A and B are shown apart, each in its own frame.
Chain A
């Protein structure tokens, strides 16, 4: 026992004869690393490989044809339209709510923060259902909407609304802790020196939160493009009209058009990979700044 205790003061000997008392033996380390890698390969790497393999198995030409097929192209256009509306709304909401929460003291702040978290805990199909009950043809506003010739459910507005609901937390959740941690001294200094509120936000706050905001936007974008359960309930799956990319993937898969399904999937997979790459880059960037600061 005493040798082990003394060894904690010694540097790690590569021969394995001596090891620190706060480290595991080599074989334990190797077993743990090996088990983790097997588990993560089964769950993270193989699904990734199977999508890319399925998409490109029959060559780039087939992949291009699958992406350019009119219904697939329509689903891509619809998905881009939806994120072009939903992401800016979430940026405005995220910045506004984070500003109010981080720069001011008010009662009910914890309730407000928990409320922002809630859409994340609610099942996507329940989100879809909520809006079907409000706006569906048998729903509360159904008669009024059809009398005014408005369609929300089984149409594009419904898709936009449920995706806005589902992605509500993402940008706000990135910005709130970041802005709380930065406090308000810099803004107060800027304002005391005579800068306007907008100028202060633009030249003082924004540079401080730009990385968090960027990651929030990227994550919100990926989640908006990939939203499935809620959209499945409200879209009606009208080909070329209300099929977003994930719904189109489902249609293709159910029709046994596996290569086409994987081709459309590969676009969203690429997007997911870019998203996590940017997240890693931002974390690396922040760590480096912390070390040099």
Chain B
């Protein structure tokens, strides 16, 4: 599968670098992931179906998918806004704010988790003001959405930013010269060009949120049927030595991740095709 097409290159080291890379990938990645899939495939269909369709598990899928979707949607709107503001406008501390966008990517999820629950608890700096309106964030589904929004924050900003930077001013000028209002230009000229990047960022944020564990477990309260996300159930089952149950649900999550990766690859291919002609 990985045979070299051209044999005569003056550059050495193909066999050794390729050999080592494939060997390492095989042992650390292919065999383990294949192992999980094989383990699940050895279960009977009944057992697999019982494990993945238990009402408590189904409730966790609903929460994980819905909260990830809402979190990614919030990031779609505010990520686009942040990218727009960072590329187009000047304001104090812009460089620092721009750098801080990557924080959720670099900050350990456990640290983010305890920071968010401390902020959004009913006595916290932010939570106390919501408490005045009888809105609870920590230990509710809103808390799950907050955590999943946090960890997906960099993705939309970082996919949209470069496209917006390279956007040709002529297109906007032409639109304005032809009489379009600024709002019409933004909606009909700029947004369609940014669509692939926006969707890629959305899909990346969604995929990341779906598998997230560390930042959610502190703020969610982990109530069965209410605030229990799917990754938490996998951990619980693994700790109780229910490997079959954990493997079955883990396989569902793995397949969801692969599907999302395919979607993301397609979006990136679409995006690059769109800007190459």
Contact = CB atoms under 8 A, between A and B. Distances in A.
14 contacts: A8-B173, A8-B176, A22-B185, A36-B78, A47-B115, A97-B21, A100-B14, A124-B211, A125-B232, A132-B238, A139-B243, A165-B32, A228-B214, A279-B99
Contacts of A27: none
B276 interface: no
Interface string B222-239: 000000000110110011
A138 B153 CA distance: 39
A164 interface: yes
Task: Give the bracket for the number of chain A residues in contact with chain B.
Answer: 35 or more
A35 B264 CA distance: 29
A129 B107 contact: no
A246 interface: yes
Contacts of A128: 235, 238
Contacts of B173: 8, 21-22
Contacts of B32: 130-131, 134, 165
A34 to B, nearest CB: 9
Interface in B59-89: 78, 81-82, 84-85, 89
B253 to A, nearest CB: 5
A1 B179 contact: yes
Interface string A10-38: 00000000000111110001001101110
A21 B176 contact: yes
Nearest to B24: A93
A40 interface: yes
B106 interface: yes
Which of under 10, 10 to 19, 20 to 34, or 35 or more describes the interface residues of B? 35 or more
A173 B35 CA distance: 25
Given A44-B101, A246-B111, A272-B107, A5 B177 contact: yes
A4 B107 contact: no
A108 B246 CA distance: 33
B18 to A, nearest CB: 4
A124 B212 CA distance: 7
A22 B176 contact: yes
Contacts of B119: 46-47, 50
Contacts of A138: 241, 243
Contacts of B179: 1, 5
A242 interface: no
B109 A99 contact: no
A96 B110 contact: no
Interface string A81-99: 0000000010011011101
A71 interface: no
Interface string B90-105: 0100010111111110
Interface of A: 1, 4-5, 8, 21-25, 29, 32-33, 35-37, 39-40, 42-48, 50-51, 54, 89, 92-93, 95-97, 99-100, 103-109, 111-112, 114-119, 121-126, 128-134, 136, 138-140, 161, 164-165, 168, 184, 187-188, 191-192, 197, 201, 219, 222-223, 225-229, 232-233, 245-247, 249-250, 253, 258, 261-262, 265, 268-269, 271-273, 275-277, 279-280
Contacts of A48: 100, 103, 115
Interface stretch (B2-10, B46-54, B194-202): B2-10
Contact of B4 (A5, A106, A114, A118): A106
Contacts of B149: 43
B261 interface: yes
Interface in B220-277: 231-232, 234-235, 238-239, 241, 243, 246-247, 250, 253-254, 257-258, 260-261, 265
A44 B2 contact: no
B129 to A, nearest CB: 11
A188 B3 CA distance: 21
Given A37-B97, A43-B153, A121 B258 contact: yes
Contact of B218 (A50, A117, A232, A253): A253
B265 A114 contact: yes
Contacts of B111: 51, 226, 246, 249, 265, 268-269, 272
